[in-house]
Amino acid sequence: MRVVSLLPSATDVIAELGLLDDLVGISDDCNWPPEVTTKPLVARTRLDASGLTSAEIDRLVSQAASESHSLYAVDAELMDELHPDLVITQDLCTVCAVSSGDLATACPIGTETYSMNPRTLGDVIESIVELGRRLGADAAARRVAERMRAAIEKTHADVAGLDRPRVFVAEWIEPPYCAGHWLPEMVAAAGGEPVLGRPGELSFPTTWDAVVAARPDVIIVAACGFSLRDALERARELALPVRTVVVDGDAHFSRPAPRLADGVRQLAHLLHPGAVADPGLPYAIL
């Protein structure tokens, strides 16, 4: 099967399934594992975020949304040349990745499109199984899904009965966005009490004053689409009266893919270092 993945989390899953040879095209947000970056780029973001603050990026994204301008450009000619059997996209967030609307005039006639839109941890696990079914890798997908489920359950068991620190997860820095979707569940599985975030719901903007007023014990900056380096560069000016930890949101928190289980383990270590060993993922304390 010839597959074009315009969704980083789907690319992550395809790699876990051992099907990278079937992947014939990607978007420029697909960056894991590193070897996928040699694949043809079918979609590129129109927004050059290099050198911009998180507030400047937020303003540009909001402006594009208000003017109904897509943040992504899809190469219809290349898509036609690649002639994929399946194109994977999403409709959960038009900011995070190419959405199905971006493909209206860019998909060859007869090509199947599949939109992946998990909202909860359970949805993420089920989406792995469903994608594997569509790719003819049912057994491998069930194994990957079960490993993810088992890893999260083990972490939850390791912190059972311990005090539950109050945790605010910021999906963006300026303005801070309250974490939604699967992130509050990740906090709960790691032995924390999520603050302000709404499980299974969209993230939403707030202010740092409102965050501090909610009395979190820990603030986790897991900026959507940012690596640790990029997030740290934009978060250095934060001076919050609460322990603040910056993590690699792009790799282990934002993407609904198997590596969320690693993010749960990292959260558990940050909240309960005496009970959970450091899994070795990068982070920085402000």
The pLDDT tens digits for 131-160 are 999 999 999 999 999 999 999 999 999 999
Distance CA 164, CA 119 (A): 24
Res. 103: pLDDT tops 80: no
Q: Domain 3-117 adopts which CATH fold?
A: Rossmann fold (3.40.50)
The string of DSSP codes covering 198-248 is EETS--EE--HHHHHHT--SEEEE--TT--HHHHHHHHTT---SSEEEEE-
Q: Domain 163-285 adopts which CATH fold?
A: Rossmann fold (3.40.50)
**Number of neighbours of residue 39 by Cβ within 10 angstroms:** 18
pLDDT score at 267: 98
- In this structure, what token pair is assigned to residue 219? 């603030």
pTM higher than 0.75, yes or no? yes
- For the chain, where do the domains classified as CATH 3.40.50.1980 start and end? 3-117, 163-285
- The answer to whether the CB of 2 falls within 8 A of the CB of 82 is yes
Alpha helices in the chain (DSSP H): 8-16, 54-66, 76-82, 121-134, 138-158, 183-189, 208-213, 228-235, 249-252, 260-271
At 171-225, the pLDDT tens digits run 999 899 999 999 999 999 999 999 998 899 999 999 999 999 999 999 999 998 8
CA 26 to chain CA mean position, Å: 16
Distance CA 282, CA 108 (A): 41
